[in-house]
Amino acid sequence: MRFENDRGALVFYHNGEMVRIEAWGRDSLRVRASMSASFTGTDRALTEEVENTDTQVTIEEVPHAVGDGTFDTRKEATITNGLIKAVVNFAGVIAFYKGDSLILREYFRSYDGTISRESRCLKLINRTWKGIPGGSEYILNVKFESCHGEKLFGMGQYQQDCLDLKGCVLELAQRNSQISIPFAVSSSGYGFLWNNPAVGRVTFGRNYYEWIAQSTKEMDYWITAADTPRQIVENYTAVTGRAGMFPEDLMGLWQCKLRYRTQDEVLSVARQYQKEGIKIDQIVIDFFHWTLQGDWKFDKKYWPDPKAMVDELHEMGIKVIVSVWPSVDRRSENFYPMMEKGLLIRTERGAAQTYDYQGDCVEIDAFHPEARKYIWEVCKKNYYDLGIDAFWLDNSEPDYGVYDFENYRYCDGPALSISNLYPQMFSRAFYDEMSKTGKDVVNLLRCAWAGSQKYGNVVWSGDVPSTFEAFADQIQCGLNMGLAGIPWWTTDIGGFMTDDVNDEDFRQLLIRWYQFAVYSPVLRMHGDRGPYNIPPLDERDWGGGYLHTGQPNELWSYGEENYAIMKKYYNIRISLHDYIKDLFAEAHENGSPLLRTMFYEFPQDPACWELKDQYMFGSRYLAAPILQLNSFKRDVYLPAGQWKLTSDGKVYEGGRTVSVEAPIDYMPVFERMIQGE
């Protein structure tokens, strides 16, 4: 075992492994390990310039008991950066401390010649590297001790009912409605980033934590220590980036459905909203407004003059966003030029196909700079130059026909090694060019990775079912996404997949979901609304004419009583404009999410660490969504202080649970009373 102090970084060599621990931001350390002679030099999510800190490294001989009351000395090394300290023993096991308190330690159960706790005969070591035959990558397994009583949050978005992730097994892979952002916030006072985009798995077990990368060249993780979740997120976003300033003119209602088939449909909806006196900030043109996937242009048969359409919408104060998929149909005019230049994802075996919805498709290689340039230039010509304001980058995981990651390869390496970074690279094909204009960039994506918040991404929760169970899942999805550094987040109001818009149970769900969406970052109507009894425009037309469309999805589409409720809540949203503006500014300044877990605002209250069905919208409003059918009353926990119920103005003393009425036209919301206001 050999330790070195390399200009303030602690480096050690053990069993063929080179490990480097160095300060990386305030109260934070970055840990890298490699079985090679050097590191890759890739920072992945750690993109931001970090402040210089006063780091201390010590290497010393420390006595260890070896049995029979005897001791010998072994080398041990320590690196300290503010609140956080890492101690490495002679077996290469790393332990992290916040001050003098142990917060995380690598798991080691192998004989080391001492009588310490970890000296056992199981031959389980903290970091294992298994070489992949014929390649330079390894299967990497890193284990940590499980802390009794610890709670874990963040990690992106998983469609489950768990807010606290302790005890969960999470796939580190991107799927439709699953977003892997490997950053965890611990109740023990630390944040942990697995800075590796490889496909893999993390297990937050009661006995130990286990991070697995199925194909990688190096280990890379980052850890920070802080006294509150707010400070943990601030430290994390300081090194991975923060969202820009969200435009004021997009803080209201976004209108969308599956799918507006013609420019006349879009304009008629916009005109009707104007007639109703409801301002929509943005209207969304969904998929198959094109001819074939990969053509990335309007089908002239149904969109004869898109510039005139955009101009009229702009005159109404409405921005326009269009759907762009990364899939390229073999019949597309862009398929063979891109295939010939190597700009599409490659398959390791079998036919060149990665996606098969409505055509035989291969998706673009978003890691290839020429592929990003190609798709941008086509979309600039066919959309952006016509005045289109933004892009809905759908299927951005990408949505593989089969999630067989070992069968796909990008120009930068096998999909197993880097696929989780794909949605971020796809978004950058647009962000990197659009940001050069000096205009605000706000694109809509279905997926993200660590650091995506800095690339103008509004991330939505994917194609989720229209059920109360799915609705409840979205609450924890949004809360954990915020803790993972993604403040611009939204859902399809009412869920995406609806069998019958006339079903009264669905309409009740829609209202409850809409009420929640008003108290969330982006208010966006969308969904695939059945029944599918609307005839196609042209069954013989292989372009946008033959594909189905859903039922109307405008505010007035669900009956007068529901329309009245949605208008009432629309007005609430507009009345909150200045407050929401301040929340977006806070996200830009320190990384705070708009949707906040109760413990984010009240970390000293143990009850707040247990709550998953209510949340804070910023620091002032406590929202308690109705998550069951035919439920018109619910219990709400109020932390210490005074809270005013927004329905009747009644003031409640906190530190207790109260029961409040929730008729169909009201979701319980409490305003936090601030002394002096």
Q: What is the DSSP string of 448-490?
A: --TTGGGGTEEEE--S-BSSHHHHHHHHHHHHHHHHTT---EE
Q: What is the pLDDT of residue 115?
A: 59
**CA dihedral of residues 328, 331, 336, 337 (deg, nearest 10):** -70
Which residues, in sequence order, are CB contacts of 246 under 8 Å at separation 6+? 440, 442, 488, 584, 587, 588
Band (147; pLDDT cuts 50, 70, 90): very high
Distance of CA 254 to the CA centre of its chain: 20
Give the least confident one: 401-415, 539-553, 648-662. 539-553
Q: Is the Cα dihedral 225, 230, 234, 236 positive or negative?
A: positive
Q: DSSP assignment of 554-610, as one string?
A: SGGGG-HHHHHHHHHHHHHHHHTHHHHHHHHHHHHHH---SEE-HHHH-TT-GGGGG
User: Does some domain include residue 489?
Assistant: no
The whole-angstrom separation of Cα 478 and Cα 476 is 5
Q: Which residues are catalytic?
A: 394, 397, 463
- Residues 7, 48 within the same domain: yes
Helix (H) / strand (E) containing 39: none
Asked if 45 contacts 193 with a C-beta cutoff of 8 angstroms, the reply is yes
Q: Which of 391, 410, 441 is the last residue of a domain?
A: 441
36 and 124 belong to one structural domain: yes
Same domain, 162 and 90: yes
Q: Give the Cα separation of 124 and 108 in Å (integer).
A: 6
Query: Taking 80 as the threshold, does the pLDDT of residue 71 lie above it?
Result: no
Please give the pLDDT value at position 411.
Answer: 98
495 domain residue, yes or no: no
C-beta of residue 254 within 8 angstroms of C-beta of residue 42: no
Q: pLDDT value at position 63?
A: 84
Mean pLDDT of the chain: 96
| Residue pointed to by tokens 């459905």 | 257
Give the global pTM. Answer: 0.97
Say how far apart CA 395 and CA 422 lie, in whole Å: 11
The per-residue pLDDT for range 272-327, each reduced to its tens digit, is 999 999 999 999 999 999 999 999 999 999 999 999 999 999 999 999 999 999 99
Contact 620, 672 (CB under 8 A): yes
For residue 381, which phi and psi values (nearest 5 degrees)? -65, -45
Q: Is residue 497 part of a domain?
A: no
Contact 48, 238 (CB under 8 A): yes
Together in a domain, 219 and 251: no
Report the alpha-carbon distance of residue 534 to residue 22 in Å, rounded: 61
What gap in Å lies between CA 140 and CA 218, rounded to an integer?
A: 8
Which range of residues forms the domain containing residue 643?
597-672
For helices 263-276 and 306-315, give the axis angle rounded to 10 degrees.
10
Give the pLDDT mean for 543-560. 93
State the pLDDT at residue 113.
67
Q: Looking at the structure, do residues 233 and 255 belong to the same domain, yes or no?
A: no
Provide the CATH number for the domain around residue 63.
Answer: 2.60.40.1760
| Strands 361-363 vs 17-23: parallel, antiparallel or unpaired | unpaired
- Is 211 in the same domain as 262? no
Q: Three-class SS of residue 369?
A: helix
Give burial (CB, 10 Å; 0-12/13-18/19+) of 675: exposed
CA-nearest of 562, 547, 554, 569 to 503 is: 562
DSSP assignment of 402-446? S--GGGEEETTEEHHHHGGGHHHHHHHHHHHHHGGGTS---EEES
Q: What percent of the chain has pLDDT over 70?
A: 99
Cα–Cα dist 546/95, whole Å: 61
Look at residues 558, 587, 616 and tell me which one is the last residue of a structural domain. Answer: 587
Q: What's the average model confidence in pLDDT over 525-541?
A: 93
Given a contact cutoff of 8 angstroms between Cβ atoms, the answer to whether 479 and 486 are in contact is no
pLDDT at 248: 98
- Structure tokens, 52: 């210089």
CA distance 28 to 51: 11
For 507-526, the pLDDT digits (tens) are 999 999 999 999 999 999 99
User: Six-digit token pair at 14?
Assistant: 């053990």
pLDDT band at 269 (very low <50, low <70, confident <90, very high): very high
pLDDT in tens, 426-452: 999 999 999 999 999 999 999 999 999
Distance CA 42, CA 37 (A): 15
Res 478 pLDDT > 80: yes
Q: Does a structural domain hold residue 14? A: yes
> Buried b vs exposed e over 427-437: b needs ≥16 C-beta within 10 Å?
bbbbbbbbeee
Find all residues with CB under 8 Å of 99, minimum gap 6, and list them: 83, 85
In a domain, 221, yes or no: yes
Which pLDDT band holds residue 677 (cuts at 50, 70, 90)? Answer: low
Structure tokens given for 578: 């200045």
Q: What does the alpha-carbon distance between residue 384 and residue 441 come to, in Å, rounded to a whole number?
A: 12
- Is the domain of 110 the same as that of 136? yes
Contact residues for 362 (Cβ-Cβ < 8 A; gap 6+): 327, 328, 330, 335, 339, 344, 345, 352, 353, 354, 355
Q: Do 317 and 342 share a domain, yes or no? A: no
Is pLDDT of 347 > 70?
yes
Chain segment 72-111, per-residue pLDDT in tens: 888 999 999 999 999 999 999 999 999 999 999 999 998 7
Determine, yes or no, domain membership for 358.
yes
Is 501 inside any structural domain? no
Residues 616, 625: Cα–Cα separation, whole Å: 11
Strands 9-14 and 17-23: antiparallel
Same domain, 190 and 296: no
| Helix (H/G/I), strand (E/B), else coil: 264 | helix
Give the three-class secondary structure for 50. Answer: coil
User: Strand 179-186 vs strand 190-194: parallel, antiparallel, or unpaired?
Assistant: antiparallel
601 and 583 in one domain? no
Q: Is the pLDDT of residue 117 over 70?
A: no
State the pLDDT at residue 511: 98
Residue 543 reports pLDDT greater than 80: no
Whether residues 566 and 419 share a domain: the answer is: no
Residues 6+ apart with CB under 8 A from 353: 347, 360, 361, 362, 401
Number of neighbours of residue 115 by Cβ within 10 angstroms: 11
CATH of the domain at 642: 2.60.40.1180
Q: 576 and 643 in one domain?
A: no
Say whether the peptide bond before residue 663 is cis (omega within 30 degrees of 0): no
- Would you state the pLDDT for residue 569? 98
C-beta atoms surrounding 271 within 10 Å: 13
Contact 29, 21 (CB under 8 A): yes
Question: Is a pLDDT exceeding 80 seen at residue 116?
Answer: no
Q: CA nearest 41: which of 212, 218, 211?
A: 218
Q: Number of structural domains, the chain? A: 4
Q: Quote helix, strand, coil % in the chain, to nearest 5.
A: 25, 30, 45
Question: In this predicted structure, what is the pLDDT of residue 373?
Answer: 98
Of the candidate ranges 200-214, 539-553, 559-573, the one whose mean pLDDT is the lowest: 539-553
Please indicate, yes or no, if residue 206 is contained in any of the structural domains: yes
> Rounded to whole angstroms, how far apart are CA atoms 662 and 664?
6
Q: Which pLDDT belongs to residue 676?
A: 65
Residue 261 token pair: 């088939």
Rounded to whole angstroms, the Cα distance separating 403 from 395 reads: 13
The answer to whether 59 and 75 have CB atoms below 8 angstroms apart is: yes
Residue-wise burial string across 544-581, b where 16 or more C-beta atoms lie within 10 A, e elsewhere: bbebebbbebbbbbbeeebeebbeebbeebbebeeebe
Residue where a domain stops, chosen among 220, 240, 260:
240
For residue 68, pLDDT beyond 80: no
